[in-house]
Structures are given as C-alpha cells and as structure tokens.
Structure 1
Amino acid sequence: MELFDAWCDLAESKDKRKRLWALVEKERGREEIEDELVQVMRSHYDLIENIAEDVNRLGYAGAAKVLGAVLPQGAKSRSGDLGEILAAELVEEKTGFSVPIRRLRYKDGREMALRGDDFIGVAYDSDDRLWLLKGESKSRKKLGKTTITEARTALNRNHGRCTPDSLLFLANRLLDSNNRDDQDLGRTIRDEVGLEALRPNRIDHMFFTLSGNGVPNALIADLQAASINRNHYVVNLHIEDHGEFIAAIYTEVQDLGND
C-alpha cells in the first residue's frame, strides 16, 4: 500500500522548479492506513526484526517495554519525530529520492532532537551522478510565520548545501553496512563532503509541514520567495486534530498487543 495515496488527497501547485503539495485526509483515510502507519513508525525507531525477536524472547509485555524505552513520551518530542518520519516516507513515495538511514534509531535520548538536517534524500541521475535532497520538517498545531522562517533559514544555511556533519553521519552509517551498494554510496557521500562537487541545481530542497491549520499564506509566500536555482518542494499535511492524533498514534505504536 502507498501510505499517502491511501490516506490523503494531494493538491499540487507548480511554478517552474517550485512545487506546493497540500495533503488533506480522505474520508476514512486514517482508518485505512492506521495499521501500516503504526508499523512504519516502529521501523523508524528499531528494526522490525529486532522487535519480533524481543516478542519471541520476552513476550509482548517485555517487548513493549524495550520499544517504549526509545519512544519519546513528551508531546513536543513526539510531534517533531512524527514530522521527520512522515517527511521521509513522503520523500520515498513521491519524489524518486531514497532516505537510506532512519535517523531516529540513533538518538542518544528519546526526548532529544537530533542535530543537523532533518532528513536527506539521495538519488542518482541518468548518468549515475549523485543528486541530493536537503530537508526540514516542522510539526505544529498552528503553523505560523516564525516557524516557517526558521525552517527556510536552516535550508539556506551552508549556501543551501547539506551540512557536512549531516552528510558524514549518513555516510558513516552506510559504510557500517554489510551491503556493498550502501558502502559505495557512503564513500560517494564522504567524497562530496571533501570536494563539494555538487552544483546548487543538484541539491533540491524540501520543507515538510504537519499542522492543524492547513496551508497558511506565509507558507505560500515563503515558496514564492525561494530561489530558482534548484528544485523546491513545500509540503503541508493538514491534520485538524493535530495533538490528539499524535497522542493516539504513539499509544498504538507502543502497544504491541498479542498479534
């Protein structure tokens, strides 16, 4: 199942290299994807195979305690994490980029936000050359101009390039893999940190927002003001009961049940 296709209607506005995607839940769309979303969220915190092994060894209650130890409990932390999770899933479903590392597995505290770019997408063009997507995500009950400005400032930082520490974090995790393709990608990304060979038009930007108030005018104005030397994606996923939805879905994520 394609998560967002089943969950939401997508309205696109496009102007040259700029896209605005407004996502609104379909009637009964949330019910359609709830089980899949729960599994997807778990997979961003741990390997599903690890959770299954915990169930085999510890039972459902014990496995839930292990999973619960890495899940954020505060409303702000949960909101931020869910924004990053949904952004990564949307990137892979809709853009042709992959997000090869699930960053939330590497948090050093479940309530702590990870430093660096919120997500990085990776692709190769038809000539097998590297292409990157630098991403910021924000999750707010009411999305406003201050938050939008903060995200755009982060995207423009480092001349619009992915930050070196974020790229090295990604590259080193890939180099730790036993998969040769992952290792090759990790080496390529490390080379990019040293050479800065990618031109601005080969580093796309995405600003993903999850909010209770839909697309504010400030978000449209932000996209209109963005430079035209690269592709831009600005995304809003409108969840009217923003806080209640996040609390409910995290309860489901931690409840492994008996199935």
Structure 2
Amino acid sequence: MGLYERWCESTKERDKRKHYWIYVEKDGGRDEIHDDLAETIRSHYDRLERIAEDVDRLGYKVAAKILSEAMPLTPKGRSGDLGEILATELVEEEIGLRVPVRRLRYKDGRNMAMRGDDFIGAGYGGKDEKLWLLKGEAKSNKVLGKTTVKSARKVLNRDNGRCTPDSLLFVANRLLESNDPDDNTLGRSLRDEVGLKSLRADRIDHMLFTVSGNGPHASLKQDLEATDSNRDQYVVNIHVEDHQEFIAAMYEDAQDLGND
C-alpha cells in the first residue's frame, strides 16, 4: 500500500478532465506512515545509500549532522519543502507519472526557495506513447485562502501553461547525467521539448497541490471550475489540522537517524 492509501481517507470528484481530490488523515494513519514519511523526507535531500555510507564511515551522530545541513531551519522553509515532497509522492502514487528529479537536493541554500516550477511529472502516454508532462505548484499553509490559490494558478498559467524552459532543462540535464538508459531517453525527450515546444496543451496537465490546517478553502473548488478543460486539471488538498506542529515534528524525526 502506498503512503497516501495508508495515511488518509480520500474524496475524489471528477468532471471530464477536472479532478478535485481531498485527503483527510485517518485515525492512526499518521502513526502508520510516520517512519516511512521520515525516510521519504530524507530521500528528497540526499540519496538514502549516501546517508547509509555516512553512517558506516562516521557514525549516526555525524551522519545526522551532515543530513541536517541540507534541511531548512525555518518553519516557512520546512513548510514549503514538505509541500513539494508530498506533492511529488502523490503524483507518483496516484497519477503514475515520474517526478524524476528530487529538486531539493540541488538547492542553493537550505533556507532558500528554489526557482521555477515546483514539480514536474513526466512519462509517456496516450495511444502513441509519446511524451506527457504534468506541471505542478505546491502550497503549504497553516491557513489556506483565496490569495494563495490565485497566486498558484497564476504560476501554472504562465508560459502559456507550459513547463518553464529553465525548469524543464534542469530536469532534462539531470536525467542525461544518469547511468540509467531509461533516464537518458526521458532526458533527451525533455531537452528536445525545450527547443521544439511541440507538446499540445492536452498533453501538459496541471496540478495545484495544497497542504493546510484549515482544510479545503472554497476558493479551491472555484479555481477548478474556472480553469480550462483542454488538459487534466488536478486540484488537491491535504488537510492536516495541526499543520505547523506536524511539520516541525516530521523534520525533527527525519533528522534523527537513530543510534544503533
């Protein structure tokens, strides 16, 4: 079972290509996924095998210090990062596209927000099995409101709804540096798309992903109703009532590598 299936109850509404997904924590769901989520958070900042090598060489305490240097210190930074992490996991678990590059491993500074699209899903689909993309914007707020939703939609719509060239090129180049031939193939497709811009709008889906303490604000449904229907549109909310406490606790536990 995937992370979300164990963690939350979901309500999913669909109107043609418009998807409205609401997730609420199950009783005991957080305890069920706690350790896996802590490990998932670590994996977005560094490769798990590299962390294990640090433990073997230097011990748990020093390895934990190395890992913690990659993670944000501020509540705002942690909230933003966790929004991207949870969005990435949802795309791969529920939609089936890859989010092939863990962006947070490449931050200029641990308390700095990265520029460009928050997350890009990529794969091959349709009858012709050609390139398919998902452009995503993630927001994590104690109190979600209309201003935040409007801002996120504006970002999704920029560049005529296409993934921004710098974001797409960043992902493409990381894939081309891989030793995996499948990564190289996908990277080549993405790099070609930066130059050719050949994908139609109906092959570039959008996701507005939110995590909030107040649950799904009415503006989310209104935003989805107002969007165009020439692509798959996903509007998602994860309701975590103790939003800030949850984030603080998860980062504390993600940095704790144990001692045995």
Pairwise TM-score range, normalised by the shorter structure: over 0.9
Shift of 1:128: 2.2
Matches within 5 A, 1:96-245: 96-125=96-125, 126-245=127-246
Task: Name the CA distance, whole Å, in 2 between partners of 1:175 and 1:223.
Answer: 35
- Point out where structure 2 has 5 or more consecutive residues left out of the alignment: none
User: AA paired with 2:119?
Assistant: F
Is contact 2:99–2:121 with CA below 8 Å preserved after alignment? yes
Task: Name the CA distance, whole Å, in 2 between partners of 1:176 and 1:113.
Answer: 24
Question: Secondary structure, in 3 states, of the residue corresponding to 2:140?
Answer: strand
Residue 37 (structure 2) aligns with = 37
Task: Name the CA distance, whole Å, in 2 between partners of 1:202 and 1:128.
Answer: 11
| Cα displacement string for residues 62-100 of structure 1 (whole angstroms, at most 9, x for unaligned residues) | 001100110111000000000000000000000021101
| Cα displacement string for residues 142-175 of structure 1 (whole angstroms, at most 9, x for unaligned residues) | 0001100000000000000000000000000001
| Greater CA drift, 120-129 or 94-103 | 120-129
Residue 21 (structure 1) aligns with = 21
Task: Name the CA distance, whole Å, in 2 between partners of 1:108 and 1:54.
Answer: 22
Residue 3 (structure 1) aligns with = 3
Shift of 1:258: 1.7
User: AA paired with 1:124?
Assistant: Y
Residue 79 (structure 1) aligns with = 79
| Cα displacement string for residues 191-239 of structure 1 (whole angstroms, at most 9, x for unaligned residues) | 1011100000000000100000011111110000001111100000000
Shift of 1:14: 1.0
Normalised to the residue count of structure 1, the TM-score between the two structures is 0.99
Identity of aligned residues (%): 63
- Point out where structure 1 has 5 or more consecutive residues left out of the alignment: none
Task: Name the CA distance, whole Å, in 2 between partners of 1:239 and 1:35.
Answer: 17
Task: Name the CA distance, whole Å, in 1 between partners of 2:5 and 2:259.
Answer: 29
**Shift >3 Å, 4+ stretches:** none
Q: RMSD in angstroms over aligned alpha carbons? A: 0.7
Task: Name the CA distance, whole Å, in 2 between partners of 1:109 and 1:252.
Answer: 21
Question: Secondary structure, in 3 states, of the residue corresponding to 2:132?
Answer: strand
Task: Name the CA distance, whole Å, in 2 between partners of 1:88 and 1:124.
Answer: 17
Question: Secondary structure, in 3 states, of the residue corresponding to 1:111?
Answer: coil
Shift of 1:113: 0.6
Is contact 2:61–2:259 with CA below 8 Å preserved after alignment? no
Q: How many residues align?
A: 259
Question: Secondary structure, in 3 states, of the residue corresponding to 2:136?
Answer: strand
